[in-house]
């Protein structure tokens, strides 16, 4: 690795690293059941920025996970909260009470009340933006940084690829730091987005098979065997019933999700469920199916959420080594 490349890398992501208070402007993508205290603290201790995935946690459980993480790292980390969570205000309050300085709002457009609550509590707000018009709206609402995540990512995804979103947003949003995510598996790609104006990058899939990841051995093996075309997105059955697509490795759960949708749509049509309740039922399916795969190792009936960069995950290695490889690749490219 050349000094020239390292210096250029530091220069390009200085804004992102300064904003996060980290050595490297690399965020860990928040992955339910996986982004808990072990993985999050390992990413932060290695110079990146770990993010706890709250998912469907209760406020009490989130409090415990934040305490566990704080006990394992003195470096900065954040908490990812789902905007449609019924206890979103309590989750924000719990996070602020633990003096966590960064909250990532995901899973929908956050309310201005949530953004104000976080900022009044002394924390920074990071939001996802799937379009330029929304990016500008979020900045007007007081958001401190944005994540631009393309459809190559694992888990819940939007319809547009990372490369297109980066071209649409990076040249025109300079007010706040913008981090690029989705399908990033090598440092050379990180370098190219930094050159386009990104302040840093977010990666999730690349950390699943880290030594510090609590994912079941079978889950990790499926990742290491998988390739890009195996990571497919779920299908929406009814346009009246919007379901955020989920990208995961193809298995029996992919088929089962179609049946779950049919059941929920039938309940909605019969007037048994409101739209919001129905969407939460879908969310609960994914949370349960993901736990079956990640924790219990049922990789056939559970959901193996993975981004298309899964084909680049070939071995189990420490987080520090994963980040070190990315930095070396980026620095060589920039040199």
Q: How far is CA 300 from CA 51, 62, 200, 277, 333, in A?
A: 27, 28, 35, 27, 39
Residue with tokens 């030594």: 211
Locate the DSSP E strands across the chain: 26-28, 50-53, 77-82, 102-106, 124-128, 145-149, 155-156, 178-181, 200-203, 231-233, 246-249
Averages of pLDDT over runs of 10 residues in the chain (335 residues) are 88 98 98 97 98 96 98 98 94 98 95 97 97 97 98 93 97 97 98 98 98 98 97 80 81 85 88 83 78 95 95 97 98 96
> What are the backbone dihedrals phi and psi of residue 11, each rounded to the nearest 5 degrees, phi first?
-65, -45
> For 10-37, how does the pLDDT look when each residue is reduced to its tens digit (9 = 90+)?
999 999 999 999 999 999 999 999 999 9
Starting at the earlier edge strand, list the strands of the sheet with 124-128.
26-28, 200-203, 178-181, 145-149, 124-128, 102-106, 77-82, 50-53
**From the candidate CATH numbers 3.40.50.720, 3.30.365.10, 3.20.20.70, 3.40.462.10, the one assigned to the domain spanning 3-214+313-334:** 3.20.20.70
β-strand pairing of 246-249 with 231-233: antiparallel
Distance CA 143, CA 47 (A): 24
> For 248-261, how does the pLDDT look when each residue is reduced to its tens digit (9 = 90+)?
999 998 888 888 88
Q: How confident is the model at residue 333, as a pLDDT?
A: 96
- Check: CB of residue 206 under 8 Å from CB of residue 312: yes
CA-based nearest residue to 312, from 321, 300, 322: 322
Distance CA 66, CA 44 (A): 13
CA dihedral in degrees (7, 11, 16, 18; nearest 10)?
A: 80
Output the six-digit token pair for 200: 């840093």
Q: How confident is the model at residue 243, as a pLDDT?
A: 67
Angle at 227 between CA 53 and CA 48, to 5 degrees: 35
The segment(s) of the chain belonging to CATH 3.20.20.70 are 3-214+313-334
β-strand pairing of 200-203 with 246-249: unpaired
Q: How confident is the model at residue 285, as a pLDDT?
A: 77
CA-based nearest residue to 203, from 160, 168, 162: 162
Q: In the Cβ-directed half-sphere of 169, how many Cα atoms lie within 13 Å?
A: 36
Q: How confident is the model at residue 241, as a pLDDT?
A: 63
- Check: CB of residue 265 under 8 Å from CB of residue 304: no
Q: How confident is the model at residue 254, as a pLDDT?
A: 81
Per-residue DSSP letters for 187-209?
A: HHHHHHHHHHT-SEEEESGGGTT
């Amino acid at each position: 690795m050349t000094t020239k490349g390292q210096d250029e890398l530091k220069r390009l992501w200085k804004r992102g690293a300064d904003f996060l208070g980290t050595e490297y402007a690399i965020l860990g993508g928040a992955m339910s059941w996986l982004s808990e205290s072990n993985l999050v603290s390992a990413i932060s201790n290695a110079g990146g920025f770990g993010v706890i995935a709250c998912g469907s946690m209760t406020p009490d459980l989130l409090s415990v996970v934040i305490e566990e993480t704080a006990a394992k790292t003195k470096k900065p980390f954040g908490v990812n909260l789902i905007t449609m969570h019924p206890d979103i205000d309590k989750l924000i309050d719990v996070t602020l009470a633990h003096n966590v300085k960064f909250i990532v709002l995901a899973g929908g457009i956050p309310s201005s009340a949530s953004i104000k609550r976080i900022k009044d509590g002394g924390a920074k707000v990071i939001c996802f933006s799937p379009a330029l018009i929304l990016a500008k709206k979020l900045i007007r609402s007081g958001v401190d940084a944005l994540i631009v995540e393309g459809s190559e990512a694992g888990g819940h995804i939007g319809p547009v690829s990372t490369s297109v979103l980066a071209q649409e947003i990076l040249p025109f949003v300079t007010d706040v730091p913008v981090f690029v995510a989705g399908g990033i598996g090598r440092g050379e790609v990180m370098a190219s987005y930094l050159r386009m104006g990104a302040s840093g990058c977010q990666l999730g899939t690349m950390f699943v098979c880290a030594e510090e990841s609590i994912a079941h051995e079978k889950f990790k093996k499926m990742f290491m065997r998988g390739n890009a075309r195996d990571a497919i997105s779920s299908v929406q059955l009814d346009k009246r019933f919007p379901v955020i697509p989920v990208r995961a490795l193809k298995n029996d759960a992919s088929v089962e999700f179609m049946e779950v949708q049919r059941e929920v749509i039938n309940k909605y049509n019969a007037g048994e469920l409101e739209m919001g309740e129905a969407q939460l039922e879908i969310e609960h399916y994914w949370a349960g199916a993901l736990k079956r795969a990640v924790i219990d190792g049922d990789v056939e009936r559970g959901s193996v959420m993975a981004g298309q960069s899964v084909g680049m995950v070939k071995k189990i290695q420490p987080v520090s080594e994963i980040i070190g490889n990315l930095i070396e690749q980026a620095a060589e490219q920039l040199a």
